[in-house]
């Protein structure tokens, strides 16, 4: 479980860094690239979170 949490935290930090680079990028192509990267990393972190929560649910029998 801690592995998931560490990975989620890293993905969110990386997404935040991409968003910062996007905001500071001087040209449109770089802004668009880093915007896509930030969104994809955020999406991946969200998917890992959902998977982690699903696996932690007790199974019904």
Kindly list the averaged pLDDT for each block of 10 residues, start to end, along the chain of length 61: 86 98 97 98 95 80 59
How confident is the model at residue 60, as a pLDDT? Answer: 65
pTM for this structure?
0.85
Q: So what's the pLDDT on residue 61?
A: 59
26: DSSP letter: S
| 14: in domain | yes
61: in domain: no
Total domain count, the chain: 1
pLDDT value of residue 4 = 80
Distance CA(4)–CA(27), nearest Å, equals: 35
Q: Is residue 42 part of a domain?
A: yes
Nearest to 7 by CA among 39, 47, 35: 47
Assess if residue 19 is contained within a domain: yes
Q: Which domain holds residue 52?
A: 2-56
């Amino acid at each position: 479980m801690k592995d998931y949490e560490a990975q989620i935290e890293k993905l969110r930090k990386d997404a935040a860094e991409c968003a910062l680079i996007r905001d500071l990028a001087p040209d449109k192509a770089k802004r668009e690239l880093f915007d896509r990267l930030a969104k994809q990393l955020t999406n991946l972190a969200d998917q890992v979170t959902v998977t982690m929560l699903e696996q932690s649910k007790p199974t019904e029998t």
